[in-house]
Structure 1
Amino acid sequence: MLETNQTFNEIFSRLKSIMISYEGELEVKVDTDENYYLDTKHVMEHNKKPLFFGAVQIKKNYVSYHLMPVYACPDLLENLSANLKKRMQGKSCFNFKKVDEEVFQELGDLTKKGFEKFKRKNLI
């Protein structure tokens, strides 16, 4: 179990490093050892709450990476590699059980494209 915790902590740290670069233009809602959560500053009309951007969370059996831009703009997923696609759960979540630098690099690129797309749509 300790080995799994260390692995999940390493995955969490690596994935958080992708998201953390957007802190300046997004709002940090949660920042703990197991949960890192970012909202945009755009308040949605229907519920008067900020639009969720993304999160990294350590779960019981995996580490999840949530990225709302891929839900709101599904065209971002058009050129997704098979390796990243197989980690996708639902419409905007990717789950990891081990470090995979190649996939993390692709996820970093996808996050950047999502951030830029939200920015062009005036959601950031």
Structure 2
Amino acid sequence: MEERKQIFYQIKSLMKKYEPSLVARSDFDSRYELWSEKEIEIDGRKRKEFYFAGLIIQSNYVGFYFMPIYTDASLKDIFESELLSTLKGKSCFHIKKLDKKLLTQIKKSLEIGFKLYKKRGWV
């Protein structure tokens, strides 16, 4: 459990950089979520909020949920093999071990995802 907490807090510290542009809806010891609370329209549907990314400590891993990859599948091309190998499903990464290289890749993905949201006017 201690290793998962360390992973959680290291990734959370990277995500905190995006507050207050994004809002932390959940900010607990085992769950953290960032949302855009800007009113937007996507594919003709109006939304008052939009999910950006989140973390949750699970029994065997830390789930890193990254919505930008869900909204633009071409973002997979930016991920290096270490991060891409942890992708389970469309937008959830199962992080079991975190080294400097993987942390750098997560940091880069957050930066690119935030720029994408900004470019689309979602932030």
TM-score when normalising by structure 2:
0.90
Native 8 Å contact 2:37 2:48 kept in 1: no
Native 8 Å contact 2:40 2:122 kept in 1: no
3-state SS of paired residue (2:109):
helix
Deviation at 1:44, TM superposition (A): 5.0
Q: Does 1:14 align with 2:10?
A: yes
* Unaligned 5+ runs, structure 1: none
Offset from partner CA, 1:71-117 (integer Å, 9 cap, x none): 11122211321111110011111111122220110111011001001
3-state SS of paired residue (1:21):
helix
Q: Does 1:108 align with 2:114?
A: no
Q: Give the corresponding residue for 2:39.
A: 43
Aligned positions, number: 120
Computed over aligned residues only, the root mean square deviation of the Cα atoms, in angstroms, reads 1.4
Structure-to-structure mapping, 1:72-91, within 5 angstroms: 72-91=71-90
* Unaligned 5+ runs, structure 2: none
Q: Give the corresponding residue for 1:29.
A: 25
**Cα separation, 2, equivalents of 1:117 and 1:49:** 18
3-state SS of paired residue (1:71):
helix
Identical columns (%): 29
TM-score when normalising by structure 1:
0.90
Deviation at 1:42, TM superposition (A): 2.7
